[in-house]
Amino acid sequence: MIRVPARVPYAAGLEWQRRLARARIDGRLSSDLLLLLEHEPVVTVGRGVRPEEVRSRVGNVLEGIPRFEIERGGDVTYHGPGQLVGYPILDLHDYRQDLHWYVRALEGSLIEALEELGLHAFRVAGYTGVWVGDPLSGPIAAGGVRKIASIGVHVSRWVTWHGFALNVTGEALGPFGGIVPCGIAGVRMTSLETEGAVWAGGEVARAVSSGFARAFGARLEMSELAELEEAGLGLVGE
């Protein structure tokens, strides 16, 4: 696991992921990784959005925020301060070559992490991500069910990148009002802080790491970006 405490511009994080995934595919990187980052504000657009739909998904409120159209699945989302973003670089040959299983495992890892932080979370049938609130409260637009974590992944030769974004503090929520998050009309986004759960950064990162390790049957060790220079990945100093 690699946790980068400083905020990382999205372009740098995206390039790190792509280089690490290529290295995992061609064997220069011998083990899986979980990158945990916080980004500067950015809007990302996944492959689930047709080009003509982008403008209707992103309002003028976020006009000045950088926008990236990327290879992950899913719709439009926001990343920024107050979120913990996780990018697993996994070779699914060592787990299951099943994208549906992988996404459900990511959801499960976050659900376990949130339980550890004092917040009951769950899946909502038909929607990717992790939710809190009252699952019997009716339609999502009614607000009784709130989305706390988004997931969007990409897989090439069964190696993964992109991943999940967990809203930790209320600071992360405001910009969601300027988009249709994940293409779900009327969805209410929430955070650990908003829900009254544990939201201190170090505790959240530890819980997420622990939940990820349990969900994937893995043993996580803390590493530094500099250690990856041995693989010739050129990550440091960008």
77: CATH: 3.30.930.10
In angstroms, the CA 165 to CA 83 distance is 6
Q: What is the pLDDT of residue 57?
A: 67
Q: Which amino acid appears at position 23 of this protein?
A: A
Helix axis angle, 99-116 relative to 201-216, nearest 10°?
A: 140
Classify residue 61 by its DSSP letter.
G
Sign of CA dihedral 73, 153, 170, 189: positive
CA distances from 89 to 19, 34, 93, 156, 172 (A): 10, 6, 12, 11, 24
Does some domain include residue 59? Answer: yes
Q: How many domains does the chain have?
A: 1
The model's pTM: 0.92
Q: Identify the burial level of 6 via C-beta atoms within 10 angstroms of its C-beta, where 0-12 means exposed, 13-18 middle and 19 or more buried.
A: exposed
Tokens 């409120």 identify what position? 61
Domain presence at residue 177 = yes
Catalytic hit among 45, 148, 159, 182: 182
Report strand pairing: 188-189 vs 145-156: parallel
189 is a catalytic site residue: no
Q: What is the pLDDT of residues 193-221, one digit of tens each?
A: 999 999 998 999 999 999 999 999 988 88
In a domain, 98, yes or no: yes
Integer angstrom CA distances of residue 178 from 23, 34, 61, 173: 36, 30, 5, 10
Predicted confidence pLDDT, tens digits, the chain (238 residues) = 888 878 999 999 999 999 999 999 999 999 999 999 999 999 998 888 777 666 666 766 577 889 899 999 888 899 999 999 999 999 999 999 999 999 999 999 999 999 999 999 999 999 999 999 998 888 898 889 999 999 999 999 999 999 999 999 999 999 998 888 888 888 999 999 999 999 998 999 999 999 999 999 988 888 777 776 655 555 544 3
Domain residue limits at 152: 2-231
What are the DSSP calls for 12-47, one per residue? HHHHHHHHHHHHHHHTSS-S-EEEEEEEPSEEEE-T
Residue 238 lies in a domain: no
